[in-house]
């Protein structure tokens, strides 16, 4: 029996690795999970109602790319949120959550060669792990670019050598960033889009945390592309109801961008995509049209930011996240800190190295732990106090 080589060097996924690190040790208190970024605020009441009303549609094959009503609701949301009007029929595809979309769009759009050479795909380091797997799946070289304190926790793609940039087919960028909570401002996006124009690559903008932010709504790649008059084919944006609407189990997101690129994404999807069941598309349609539940959830996240600032504000190196729901806390050694915290207090956090790759022996996540602020406020407060006293006391 033979197996493919292309995924053979993938490290074990973060969560089984964490179980291996911690599970042979007894927790030093009531276990509290601050590892997985699974939103826990309530989703809107009407979700169940909409599913029940449309339950008969489980008896139908759903349209691959989304119902016209859902695509229309997404297009209206993009216009309200970013002031960008895209054609719902040609410039949007629904997704089963952004993870599969971030993977499949690379399959649809990464060429076999770029200027006669093996293409490269850029990913920030640390990063959401699907970016690397997508690069390996299409035979591209994944290039891990540090997104550290020195670079404002976003990757400095412009600093890469010109010959490498000429081979780049796709650059992933996550804003607000998981895990660092950094937000790309208008200038960052404009510079990146101009770099993409100069070296002829596409940007895959992972904006799934766009509705969770501290001060003002983070700018999006599509709106900046339009502001600077860039070719709309340069940018694909990826959005999700998992974080915005606290519906990670709905598996509903979308990508939007230039009509030609979206045509390729949709064509692949018509052969190999897994469409979202119709009753769930109805829920998604309602969710994109409603902002009340999003505002309520945002208010809760803002209280959580305030709690984190209050408890950790005096910790050396603490950096309040600008967006998303993770804290990226500096420690001497992330694995040792996660183990100490579990054994000392029962609080479970993720070593930063599990979200990043060592390049030339340097792992930019090694000196961090990632803490998810998803638990109810009181629980989170107690968890952070236990963490502060154990790791920084």
Ligand X SMILES: Cc1ncc(COP(=O)(O)O)c(C=O)c1O
Give me the residues that bind ligand X (CB under 6 A), please. Answer: 37, 97-99, 128, 174, 178, 206, 208, 240, 242, 248, 253
Tokens of 327: 């804290």
* Nearer to ligand X (CB atom), residue 179 or residue 232: 179
Scan for tokens 């969710």, then name that residue. Answer: 287
How near is the Cβ of 334 to ligand X at its closest, in Å?
A: 18
Residue 277 near residue 58, CB atoms below 8 Å: yes
How near is the Cβ of 298 to ligand X at its closest, in Å?
A: 17
How near is the Cβ of 4 to ligand X at its closest, in Å?
A: 24
User: What gap in Å lies between CA 91 and CA 258, rounded to an integer?
Assistant: 6
Q: Under 8 Å CB-to-CB from 61, ≥6 apart: which residues?
A: 275
Q: Which of 242, 172, 250 is nearest to 210 (CA)?
A: 242
User: What gap in Å lies between CA 180 and CA 150, rounded to an integer?
Assistant: 13
- Opening angle at CA 269, ends 237 and 85, nearest 5: 35
How near is the Cβ of 33 to ligand X at its closest, in Å?
A: 15
3-state secondary structure of 79: helix
Considering only CA atoms, give the Rg of the chain. Answer: 21
* Nearer to ligand X (CB atom), residue 304 or residue 386: 304
How near is the Cβ of 128 to ligand X at its closest, in Å?
A: 4
Q: Which of 208, 384, 217, 390 is nearest to 304 (CA)?
A: 384
How near is the Cβ of 343 to ligand X at its closest, in Å?
A: 27
Backbone angles phi, psi at 42, to 5 degrees: -65, 140
* Nearer to ligand X (CB atom), residue 14 or residue 268: 14
User: What gap in Å lies between CA 33 and CA 350, rounded to an integer?
Assistant: 10
How far, in whole angstroms, is CA 331 from its chain's centroid? 23
* Nearer to ligand X (CB atom), residue 206 or residue 285: 206
* Nearer to ligand X (CB atom), residue 77 or residue 391: 77
DSSP letter for each residue of 116-157:
TB--EEEEEES--THHHHHHHHTTPEEEEEE-SGGGTTS--G
Q: Which of 322, 248, 308 is nearest to 99 (CA)?
A: 248
Q: Which residue is nearest to ligand X (CB)?
A: 97
* Nearer to ligand X (CB atom), residue 36 or residue 315: 36
How near is the Cβ of 223 to ligand X at its closest, in Å?
A: 19
How near is the Cβ of 240 to ligand X at its closest, in Å?
A: 3
* Nearer to ligand X (CB atom), residue 248 or residue 273: 248
The pairing of strands 32-33 and 347-348 is parallel
Residue 238 near residue 95, CB atoms below 8 Å: yes
* Nearer to ligand X (CB atom), residue 246 or residue 345: 246
How far, in whole angstroms, is CA 22 from its chain's centroid? 26
How near is the Cβ of 178 to ligand X at its closest, in Å?
A: 4
Residue 155 near residue 146, CB atoms below 8 Å: yes
* Nearer to ligand X (CB atom), residue 312 or residue 355: 355
For residue 300, CA distances in Å to 47, 239, 246, 375 come to: 20, 21, 12, 11
Q: Which of 7, 239, 257, 309 is nearest to 142 (CA)?
A: 7
* Nearer to ligand X (CB atom), residue 128 or residue 157: 128
How near is the Cβ of 173 to ligand X at its closest, in Å?
A: 10
């Amino acid at each position: 029996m033979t197996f493919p080589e292309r995924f053979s060097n993938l490290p074990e996924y973060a969560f089984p690795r964490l179980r291996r690190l911690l599970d042979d040790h007894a927790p030093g208190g009531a276990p509290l999970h601050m590892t997985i970024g699974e939103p826990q605020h309530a989703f809107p009441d009407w979700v169940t109602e909409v599913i029940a009303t449309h339950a008969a549609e489980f008896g139908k094959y759903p349209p691959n790319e989304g119902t016209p009503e859902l695509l229309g609701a997404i297009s209206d949301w993009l216009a309200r949120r970013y002031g960008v009007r895209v054609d719902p029929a040609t410039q949007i595809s629904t997704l089963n959550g952004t993870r599969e979309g971030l993977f499949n769009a690379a399959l649809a759009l990464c060429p076999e060669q770029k200027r006669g050479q093996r293409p490269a795909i850029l990913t920030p380091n640390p990063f959401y792990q699907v970016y690397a797997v997508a690069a390996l799946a299409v035979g591209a070289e994944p290039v891990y670019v540090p997104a550290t304190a020195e670079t404002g926790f976003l990757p400095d793609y412009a600093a890469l050598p010109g010959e490498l940039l000429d081979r780049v087919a796709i650059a992933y960028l996550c804003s607000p960033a998981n895990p660092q909570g950094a937000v790309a401002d208008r200038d960052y996006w404009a510079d990146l889009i101009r770099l993409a124009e100069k070296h002829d690559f596409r940007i895959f903008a992972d904006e799934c945390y766009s509705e969770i932010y501290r001060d003002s709504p983070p700018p999006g790649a599509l709106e900046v592309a339009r502001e600077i008059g860039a070719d709309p084919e340069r940018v694909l944006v990826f959005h999700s109801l998992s974080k915005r609407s606290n519906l990670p189990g709905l598996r509903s997101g979308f990508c939007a961008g230039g009509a030609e690129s979206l045509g390729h994404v949709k064509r692949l999807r018509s052969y190999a995509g897994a469409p979202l069941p119709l009753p769930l598309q109805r829920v998604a349609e309602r969710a994109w049209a409603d902002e009340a539940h999003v505002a309520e959830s945002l208010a809760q996240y803002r209280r959580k930011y305030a709690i984190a600032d209050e408890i950790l504000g005096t910790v050396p190196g603490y950096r309040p996240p600008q967006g998303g729901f993770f804290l990226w806390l500096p420690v001497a050694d992330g694995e040792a800190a996660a183990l100490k915290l579990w054994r000392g207090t029962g609080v479970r956090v993720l070593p930063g190295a599990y979200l990043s790759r060592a390049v030339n022996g340097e792992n930019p996540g090694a000196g961090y732990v990632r803490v998810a602020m998803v638990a109810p406020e009181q629980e989170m407060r107690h968890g952070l106090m236990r963490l502060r006293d154990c790791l920084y006391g």
